[in-house]
A and B are shown apart, each in its own frame.
Chain A
Amino acid sequence: MTPRLRLIIFLLACIGLMPAFAHVAMRMPSFGAHPLPYGETINAVATKERHVTNMVSAVNFDYRGFDTLGEEFMLLCAVTGITVLLRGTRGEQTSARPGVLEGRPIRPRSEAVMLICRIFGTLTLMFGIYVALHAMTTPGGGFQGGVIIASATLMIFMGETYRGWRRLMHSEILDAIEGGGATLYALCGFASMVAGKPFLYNILPLGTPRDLFSGGLMLIENAGVACAVAGGFAVTFLEFLEETRAEKEDPE
């Protein structure tokens, strides 16, 4: 198929779908006044039933907990795929030397960048842990906190160059964190079954609302998600950055 033909087909499809879109858009309920039966039910009952104040976490880890288990394994599969694809062709050797492009001068990292990265790397890590911990009370949770923790590790790369990054990031530990997080989530489900309740049923004491440690089993699931997401993203960063290192072993 030539690019021109493809473009013509695309434009025809757009023109053909335009009346359908107009038909649907005109009959949508007015913006901001949709009937939201599920959301309203959860807003009304979740604080009483599950003793948490963040409804999004309640949906993620309790009402739709099984779905989150699936998401968790999607993450695991994607990260495994990345590792197999990249490491499979690259090999396992670890020469801790960044590759250089010919004719591109290498400038040493300025001390200001190092200072900023050392300060803000720590602060970002703290913030990530804070966000991950406060899943049940205020905006936050394992998914967001995990990504923030993983991007805090990038500050190591920016501040301490590739050598420092390679010394601190060990693939074995990160893999274990990622897989362990996903396993922890699955084990939470089986723990409920051992207790004679349905899969992922909340068997732990729920605590008091607005308390950091409220929500029972959701707290453990949240910790599992935070570990899996932080580990998964860190492994992805590590594998991608490994692609830019020098091919040959450093002789020195």
Chain B
Amino acid sequence: MNRFTELLPWIVAAWLLAVGLYGMITSRHYVQLIGCLSVVQASTYVLLLAVGYRRHAGPPIFYTHPPGTPAVDPVVQALVLTDIVIGATVTALLLALALQMHKRRGMLDPQELRPLSR
């Protein structure tokens, strides 16, 4: 049991990646597909922050604690922090593309998409 909880963060990250990809390949609606993509994104956040975690350590902010107190890794946190914000705008760009396709083709099913003929 102890061994399982040790592995849990990596299992959760892999599971989120797999279930997100499964949702994407079986999706019948582009907006739903983009939602599944956000699950895949979340798996990378869980993985990175789990790597940077340190047992019995505080956040990497030395306002009340003096520097030198055990703290978790700030580098991965900075990576994830910017990625969440930038990822949201990229997701918004994908949503705009989906809306554009609905306007041009009148449909949103990825399985029915054909290459542009015109």
Contact = CB atoms under 8 A, between A and B. Distances in A.
Q: Do chains A and B touch in the complex (CB under 8 A)?
A: yes
Interface string B31-73: 0000000000000000000111111000111110001100111
A53 B75 contact: no
Contact of B55 (A24, A32, A240): A32
Interface residues of A, number: 60
Nearest to B28: A3
B63 A33 contact: no
B34 to A, nearest CB: 13
Interface residues of B, number: 49
- The list of the 8 closest CB pairs from A to B, nearest first, reads A39-B73, A32-B55, A55-B74, A55-B60, A59-B78, A78-B89, A47-B67, A25-B10
Interface in A17-45: 21, 24-26, 28, 30-34, 36, 38-40, 42-44
Interface in A62-77: 64, 67-68, 71, 74-75
A93 interface: no
Given A43-B71, A48-B67, A68-B82, A232 B89 contact: yes
B54 to A, nearest CB: 6
Contacts of B88: 147, 233
Contacts of B97: 85
Contacts of B73: 34, 36, 38-40
Contact of B75 (A39, A141, A240): A39
Q: Which of B11, B75, B86, B92 gathers most chain A CB within 10 Å?
A: B75
A139 B61 contact: yes
Contacts of B74: 39, 42-43, 55-56, 58-59
A232 B89 CA distance: 8
A10 B89 contact: no
A118 B111 CA distance: 45
Contact of A10 (B21, B61, B78, B99): B21
Contacts of A141: 81
B107 interface: no
A71 B85 CA distance: 9
A7 interface: yes
A236 B96 CA distance: 10
A28 B78 contact: no
B117 interface: no
Contacts of B72: 39
A201 interface: no
A191 B27 CA distance: 49
A6 interface: yes
A143 B86 CA distance: 9
B116 interface: no
